[in-house]
Amino acid sequence: ALQRVQQLLVQAAQRVCPAHAFVFELPKDAVRRSAAASAGGDLQCRAVSTIWRKLVAGARGAAVVRVETVSEFGLKRETDYTSAADLARAVLAQLPEGSREVVADARVLEEDGSLQLSTQLHMRRMRAAGMLHCAACGGFYAGRRGLRDHAQIKHRAPYEEATEAVHAARGALVRYARTPEEAALTRLWEARAAAAEAARNSLPAPLAAARDGDVEALRALAA
């Protein structure tokens, strides 16, 4: 998935800033695994941030940077950008048709224009683990309570709005696995999540007997 996302971003950049699209393929700027994948997107890319610095340097520090593109029909077009985030949004808007088959969610960091992305495979992995996706920021949170509390605290959403966000996240469709390998991975993640949930819910024998009202078991344990 990483290589495919890389290709998609290069294609998009060629439509927005063709003279600098090569930056997406530089080792330090290419798409890479995110260290924060356990709570957010599984991929990140800082190429736009680097491109923006190059453009600003070329414009001698101007507040607005103008980029010229030429269509396949030879038509020239000039577009003004005011920030790295502005440029990054333009790149995401030009992702080729069908990119949603690979990229489930793409976000722009306003500070520097870096991209945070969640692949469809990552979305399935997080859903299998009981993590719900926040449509407002792209993060993942544990179950209904986790997402609701996040929406209320981080996004200052009223209780009703936070509850609606939870319902939307639980009802969001996750694309089916595209290959037998992906399907097998999904089943493995679901099995692991179920086992972890069972372990969390398990109780010591005395407490389990008390919960179930098993008097005979309690007597035997007390003997």
Q: What is the pLDDT of residues 119-163, one digit of tens each?
A: 998 998 898 888 999 999 999 999 999 999 999 999 999 999 999
Distances (CA, A) of 27 to 6, 64, 193, 214: 12, 28, 35, 63
Residue 211 banded pLDDT, cuts 50, 70, 90:
low
pLDDT reading at 183 higher than 90: no
At 99 the pLDDT is: 92
- Residue 127 phi, psi dihedral angles, 5° rounding: -65, -40
For 193-211, what is the mean pLDDT? 67
CA–CA separation, 40 and 126 (whole Å): 9
Reference 46, options 61, 55, 34; nearest CA is 34
Compute the mean pLDDT over every residue in the chain, rounded to the nearest whole number. 87
Confidence grade of residue 210 (pLDDT, cut at 50, 70, 90): confident
Residue 108 β-bridge partners: 115
pTM, two decimal places = 0.76
| The pLDDT value given to residue 106 | 95
Token code pair at residue 64: 């607005």
Q: Is a pLDDT exceeding 60 seen at residue 177?
A: no
Tokens describing residue 23: 């930056």
Report the distance separating Cα 171 and Cα 169, nearest Å.
5
What pLDDT is stored for residue 11 in this prediction?
Answer: 95
Radius of gyration of the chain (CA): 24
Contact by Cβ (8 Å): 159, 144: no
Alpha helices, DSSP H, located in the chain? 2-16, 47-58, 84-93, 120-128, 143-153, 159-171, 180-201, 205-212, 215-222
